[in-house]
Amino acid sequence: MQLASGHADHDAAYAKAISDVAGNIVGGRLIAGQRWSSIWTRDSCYALDLGAALGAPLVGEATLRALGTEAGWMQDKAGHFGGWPHLTDSVLGAVGVWAVYLATADEALLRWGFEVTRASLTRAEREVFDRGSGLFGGCASFMESNSAYPIQFAFNGTAVGHTKALSTNLAYYRAYVLAARMAELTGANGQSYVDRARELRDAINRRLWDPARGRYAYFEYAGGKRSSRMEGLGQALAILWDVADANQAEAVFKNTPRTQHGLPCLAPPYLFWRFSYGNDADYYHNGMVWPFVQGYWAWAAASRGNVKVFGAELEALTGLAARDTTFREFYRPDGGVPDGSARQLWSAAGYLAMVHFGLCGMRIDVDRIAFAPVVPAKFGRIRLSGFAYRDLILDVEVIGCGNRVTRADLDGGTLAKPEIPLSLKGNHTVTLTIA
């Protein structure tokens, strides 16, 4: 797959992202990065959702098969806080398996993934769901180091596990939504998942929406108190996964702080951890810029047609990508210095999401790809070549800038709507004119 955007830095960043994903295929599975030789549930599934499933869906399936058990999706463990029930975001397996299913249409994978997801949800409802608040307990998704929490939480997995984090509850919400879709497609009754998704969405908005700050709170802790800080991933997922309504999304875009190099994973940073630059685990969740979080933020902006927010994050990550030979795990917000592991899987996938779901506006579902590009003014003509999906190889051309499709063509013939069926096979060209 190649990008020709008229801007060499964007084209180079896209090529680097493709190369980095390929470099993280080891033993037929996706590893987390050059420094992380094992497979992780949350890393793999976020990366698959962001786009790593597109070019190598069978590798994605092999990775997921290694992460699923009869008891549910495997829970990652962290050095500071341990694993289950302090960390509880393993339900993200549902997000990964859905992305791979969309890319393969493999019904056997879907049925297996549904059973593993159902087991995960059952375990969580039994062991970490708090009926009083209607929220799930557990550390914020991926923010599993001391540097992501106040000093009193240091090495205290039990205390962190008793918090109710925004991103982790959004992961459960998404799992319920996807479990309902999986049930429908496999002939099971998914109404209970529909109901529980609605109840959890309402609880998130009731308990974690902070109207005074115009954004979602990082987590809730003892006594129903809300943290005054924000986590970038949670803000993005609330918008992308439709927990936030239109007014909330507009407020979040307006009130979420950014750095000159992009969205921070946490803001404001904790002063105790901020100046600790010895072991990266002592600072890497404390306001650093993580490309996969940027990818979700940009995707969220594109999903709401927000050209300004999308364009700013695309430019920020394109600039960061040029600072090293691979995408890095994270970057320091004060100078954009690359840090952490090289060739980080989900960092590369974050850039793929910006191109596929933002600039090209792909909205992939079970039977179709719809298109709703969001293109900043600096671009005039974008061409994505060799986009492989199921039995299709697409060339996607986007002409103009803005967020409104005025004409859509397939192989030179005008489409009634900007979408194509996934029953198509072979090589095709989609041309989109936008304004």
Reply yes or no on whether the pLDDT at 344 is more than 80.
yes
Taking residues 318-337, report their average pLDDT: 97
List, for residues 209-230, the tens digit of each pLDDT value: 999 999 999 999 989 999 999 9
Q: Where are the domains of the chain?
A: 27-359
Taking residues 30-45, report their average pLDDT: 95
- What's the pLDDT band for 56 if we cut at 50, 70, 90? confident
Reply yes or no on whether the pLDDT at 325 is more than 80.
yes
Reply yes or no on whether the pLDDT at 27 is more than 60.
yes
- What's the pLDDT band for 207 if we cut at 50, 70, 90? very high
Residue 425 to residues 171, 234, 391, 394, Cα–Cα distance (Å): 34, 37, 5, 10
Taking residues 391-410, report their average pLDDT: 98
| Average predicted confidence (pLDDT) for the chain | 96
CATH no., domain 27-359: 1.50.10.10
Reply yes or no on whether the pLDDT at 321 is more than 60.
yes
Structure tokens at 92: 């993200």
List, for residues 140-181, the tens digit of each pLDDT value: 999 999 999 999 999 999 999 999 999 999 999 999 999 999
pLDDT score, position 278: 67
Reply yes or no on whether the pLDDT at 111 is more than 90.
yes
Distance between CA atoms of residues 358 and 66, nearest Å: 31
List, for residues 266-312, the tens digit of each pLDDT value: 999 998 876 555 688 889 999 999 999 999 999 999 999 999 999 99
pLDDT score, position 275: 55
pLDDT score, position 277: 59
| Contact partners, residue 198, CB within 8 Å, separation at least 6 | none
What percent of the chain stands above pLDDT 90?
A: 95
pLDDT higher at 252 or 275: 252
